[in-house]
Amino acid sequence: MKALIISVDMGQPDYEAHAAEFDMLARGAGAEIVGTLKVRRARPDAAHYIGSGKLEEAALMAEAEGAEVILFDQSLSPAQQRNLERVLHLRVVDRVTLILDIFALRAQSHEGKLQVELAQLQHLSTRLTRLWTHLERQRGGIGMRGPGESQLEMDRRIIGDKVRALKERLARLARQRSTQRRARARGGVLSVSLVGYTNAGKSTLFNALTRAGAYAADQLFATLDTTTRRIWIEGAGSVVVSDTVGFIRDLPHALIAAFRATLEETVQADLLLHVIDAANPQRDEQIMEVDKVLAEIGAADTPRILVYNKIDRAGISPRIERHEHGTIARVFVSAAERSGLDLLRSAIAEAAQPIGNNASNHQTLQSE
């Protein structure tokens, strides 16, 4: 689908990285980018986010390039989105909607699809006034309309019913996952979760560590569904490794909420491997974004090791760096070239010792 990107620079220092990331998101969703309109503003316009002059320029550019959709590199209010569509006579997709669309495209598991549908419905509920088709047609309209009930009220009720049903189904799956985690904990199995910014190479590292075949690609959100494998690491014993969804700046809160069940693998892990793209110039900002999401889901205090991946692209050799008190802080690896993996395994084994001691002490206290 031919798309025109409208990119707004409000003076933020990481604007170029933000714009490049949105371009990658758009291409990942299958868009053919026919043009990009860059807009400089001090603050958003209340009605259209951009000014009338740039809006007119966008309309002319979209018509000239044959654009079929407008991709807007910001989160728009429902009114702004509606107003833009009235002027441009094209569908306008903002950053949040585009991320939701990519999640819908990539979700493979039953649980992943349910989580995406929940996030989409919750986002849709704030934008009901702009729907072009009525929701009741999906369920059959006869018997659905209450006495004197408006179309908008009925649409809200249908979405509310769907959201409740999805939450119940996800809650059942979360309970099953919790039961599996408790069984692993009773068996004394170390739980390790890979976390990190999207496209940092988590799935490639997961495959290299576990010899699994998880999908890995050089694109944003290649992995949405948590994949878990059990491996043996000398010095740590049996270890369960989980590959989780990547994070991104301005990750929609609806997605964080919807994926909370999946992200519980991260919250409940004994150890986090925070995978970082060592060759990315924005890596420090990406680390901060991941830390922000980890705090939001309750995993801020989980022990972690920073794993700098893609060192082959950064010209760095494999090594381990320690904190001043001697514990492992950072491990430098290349998952693609499988270099430094022995160092990472030894780091996991070393980190497992205090974790194992804490677990055994906890079990002793419970039995007393």
Query: Annotated binding residue at 143?
Result: no
Residue length of the chain: 368
Ligand-binding annotation for 357, yes or no, is: no
């010209």: which residue's tokens?
Answer: 315
Closest by CA position to 323, among listed 333, 311, 334, 331: 331
33 is in an annotated binding site: no
Neighbours of 43 (CB within 10 A): 8
Residues 284 and 195: their CA atoms lie apart, in Å, by 15
Instruction: Say if residue 188 carries a ligand binding annotation.
Output: no
Q: 223 among the known binding-site residues? A: yes
What's the 3-state SS for 305-363?
EEEEECHHHHCCCCEEEECCCCCEEEEECECCCCECHHHHHHHHHHHHHHHHHHHHHHH
Report whether 222 contacts 199 (CB < 8 A): yes
C-alpha distances out from residue 40 to 1, 9, 48, 249, Å: 26, 5, 14, 20
Contacts of 204 (CB under 8 A, 6+ apart): 216, 309, 335, 336
The verdict on whether residue 243 carries a ligand-binding annotation is yes
Q: Is 9 annotated as a binding residue?
A: no
- 311 appears as a binding residue in the annotation: yes
- Is 340 annotated to bind a ligand? Reply is no
Which position has the token pair 């494999």?
A: 318
302 is in an annotated binding site: no
Q: Is 349 annotated as a binding residue?
A: no
**Residue 197, annotated ligand binder?**
yes
Q: Is 198 marked within a binding site?
A: yes
Annotated binding site for Mg(2+): 203, 223
Annotated binding site for GTP: 196-203, 221-225, 243-246, 309-312
Annotated binding site: 196-203, 221-225, 243-246, 309-312
